[in-house]
Structure 1
Amino acid sequence: MESTQDLSHAVGLSRVLVGLMKGVVYREGDAPLWQDLLALQARVRDHVAVLGLELILDESEGYAFLRTRPGNEGEPELPRLVQRRALSFPVSLLLALLRKKLAEFDAGGGDTRLILARDEIVELIRVFLPAGSNEARLIDQVDTHINKIIELGFLRRLKAQGGEFEVRRLLKAFVDAQWLAEFDQRLAAYRAQLGGGEAEGAE
């Protein structure tokens, strides 16, 4: 017969797994769930490994998510539970610019939350694009791109401050330092794609 503690751990594990399967788990969003995740992370890793997934947990930044585990050579490839997403050029560019802005913000110290107004996000795009009709179209569609990035979990709309957005620190896990170091070369490639096309996004 299971003890009360065993049942409590089983319920906690189920809650954590369901939360992770739904998306990113944030410390600030659900403190009890976050504590269960920290206490049970070894068991969580064992469970998701069976599904070909791995747990990415950043205690200092306060987020956790699942991603497809890289396969070892010679292993049969498992069906993907976490699908790759093809991102449009404007969304890919805006993610890169937001990540660069976050790096600059962190280098300056001070507050841990990067808050940007819509006009500041528009300016990020405008500065890095050549003048012309493509620029005008991108600016006109910025709200669509912002909404997509909110859906991806990299921006959060601040209801109390209309027209302002928090850049989620989760973005650091998807656009790493090496990628950022190659930003100028990537930006040149992006400019060559201004007529359209898809840029492969992070999982």
Structure 2
Amino acid sequence: MRGVVYREVDEDGWTLLERHAAPVRDHFSTIGVQVVIDDVEGYAYLRNADEDDTEEPLPRLVRRRSLTYNVSLLLVLLRKRLVEFEASGGEGKLVLTRDQVVDILRLFLPDSSNEARVIDQVDTTIRKAAELGFLRQLPRQPGHWEVRRILKAYVDAQTLGDFAGKLTEYAGAHPGGDDG
């Protein structure tokens, strides 16, 4: 109940979950929790069930996390990169280097003359995204990060559309800026 189950990481747990999906869903639904299983992407997680206006609301059992601006921004930008990766026919996993993540975020961070501070800020943001399970550092490849597909469940198409609209507004309000 504390995180995401990945098919590739926990094959035995995944097989058990697939075999007993209906009773597991029934069990959790009685306490107001929905089991989400994405067979295509190979992950499963829990989320609070949608509240029904006719029933007395159940207490929140799945913890909500408030994210900093930088982490939220990184997640949306990574989700956008994941969409581009899949649209270009990218097979396998999307892997980015730390420098690529720095470049992705740099466009949206305030200008600073202190490059070391910007890099520290990005490193902190990367670590937080990894703690939340959206990035995974590749073993034996320091500085290489896999973008976990669970991000698709967290940052949906609506959020991406809203973000694109805000970027368009921002570009209109700040003419002559970078084309990003």
TM-score (norm 1): 0.77
Please, which of 55, 74, 83 is the counterpart of residue 75 of structure 1? 55
Q: Which runs of 5+ in 1 are unaligned?
A: 1-20, 192-203
Cα distance, 1:188 vs. partner?
7.0
Matched, 1:141 2:121: yes
2:105 alignment partner AA: I
User: 2:85 corresponds to which residue?
Assistant: 105
Structure 2 CA distance, aligned partners of 1:73 and 1:52?
13
Matched, 1:169 2:145: no
User: 2:174 corresponds to which residue?
Assistant: none
Identity of aligned residues (%): 54
Q: Are residues 185 and 33 of structure 1, via their aligned partners in 2, closer, same or farther at CA, if it must alter by over 3 Å?
A: same
Structure 2 CA distance, aligned partners of 1:75 and 1:159?
47
TM-score (norm 2): 0.87
Q: Give 1 or 2: higher helix fraction.
A: 1
Q: Are residues 106 and 159 of structure 1, via their aligned partners in 2, closer, same or farther at CA, if it must alter by over 3 Å?
A: same
Q: Are residues 77 and 123 of structure 1, via their aligned partners in 2, closer, same or farther at CA, if it must alter by over 3 Å?
A: same
Q: Are residues 75 and 143 of structure 1, via their aligned partners in 2, closer, same or farther at CA, if it must alter by over 3 Å?
A: same
Q: Which runs of 5+ in 2 are unaligned?
A: 172-180
Matched residue SS, 1:150: helix
User: 1:48 corresponds to which residue?
Assistant: 28
Structure 2 CA distance, aligned partners of 1:72 and 1:134?
50
Cα distance, 1:46 vs. partner?
0.3
Structure 2 CA distance, aligned partners of 1:113 and 1:188?
29
Cα distance, 1:160 vs. partner?
1.3
